[in-house]
């Protein structure tokens, strides 16, 4: 059993829906799941975490959703040591935005890596254009991901 914190970045709810499905499904596999979506790094208590799953969409022109921006700002400005953290990334985007596809998830991936966190597995990039139900892809990916922890 692993304690897993899912950090959600969402504007219109898709990433939240994915996170809630994973909370249920991985929880049923006896992992202890918690979702945080307020974006406040202090509230997430990353210092006390071992495994983080980032589930983040992209908005604007390759920008982060508003709710996760405070966490991104904190990682950039406060530069916490996250070398104790293993993390994975589910990035939601749309290939129509060719230049900025999944930039939100890519940005969070880069911020965690820059703080010394260790990525487990490859980042999943879900294209809303070809996969209208992002939770199916995400669940398949996540079941594999937890075996790598
Ligand atoms: C106004 C707007 C801007 C978007 N910009 C991007 C973008 O720059 N890159 C990208 O990959 N996807 C972009 N998307 C697609 C969203 O990331 C995608 O629809 C995602 O599933 C939304 O998830 P959410 O409901 O959790 O926010 C954009 C969507 C909207 C509505």
**Which residue, among 59, 64, 66, has the nearest Cα to 94 in the 3D structure?**
59
Measured from the CA of 134, which atom of ligand 1 is nearest? 21
CA angle 86, 19, 58 (to 5 degrees): 85
Dump pLDDT digits (tens) for 82-100. Answer: 999 999 999 999 999 999 9
Burial (CB count within 10 angstroms: exposed 0-12, middle 13-18, buried 19+), residue 140: exposed
Q: What is the pLDDT of residues 20-75, one digit of tens each?
A: 999 999 999 999 999 998 877 666 789 899 999 999 999 999 999 999 999 999 99
Instruction: Please tell me the residue having the least CA distance from ligand 1 atom 28.
Output: 59
CB 101 within 8 A of CB 42: no
Cβ–ligand 1 distance for 107 under 6 Å, the answer no
Q: Could you tell me where the beta strands, DSSP code E, fall in the chain?
A: 3-9, 32-36, 51-56, 86-93, 118-119, 124-127
Shortest-distance atom of ligand 1 to CA 63: 8
Ligand 1: atom nearest CA of 95 is 11
In a mutational test of the pocket of ligand 1, which residue from 67, 89, 128 has the highest number of ligand atoms less than 8 Å from its CB? Answer: 128
| Residues comprising the chain, all counted | 149
């Amino acid at each position: 059993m692993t304690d897993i914190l899912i950090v959600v970045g969402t504007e219109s709810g898709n990433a939240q829906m994915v996170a809630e499905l994973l909370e249920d499904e991985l929880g049923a596999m006896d992992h202890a799941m918690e979702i945080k979506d307020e974006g406040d790094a202090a509230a997430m208590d990353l210092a006390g975490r071992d495994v983080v799953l980032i589930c983040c969409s992209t908005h604007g022109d390759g920008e982060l959703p508003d709710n996760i921006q405070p966490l991104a700002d904190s990682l950039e400005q406060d530069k916490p040591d996250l070398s104790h953290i293993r993390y994975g990334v589910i990035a939601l985007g749309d290939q129509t935005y060719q230049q900025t596809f999944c930039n939100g998830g890519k940005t969070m991936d880069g911020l965690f890596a820059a703080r010394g966190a260790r990525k487990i597995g490859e980042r999943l990039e879900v294209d809303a254009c070809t996969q209208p139900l992002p939770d199916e892809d995400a669940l398949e990916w996540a079941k594999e991901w937890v075996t790598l922890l």
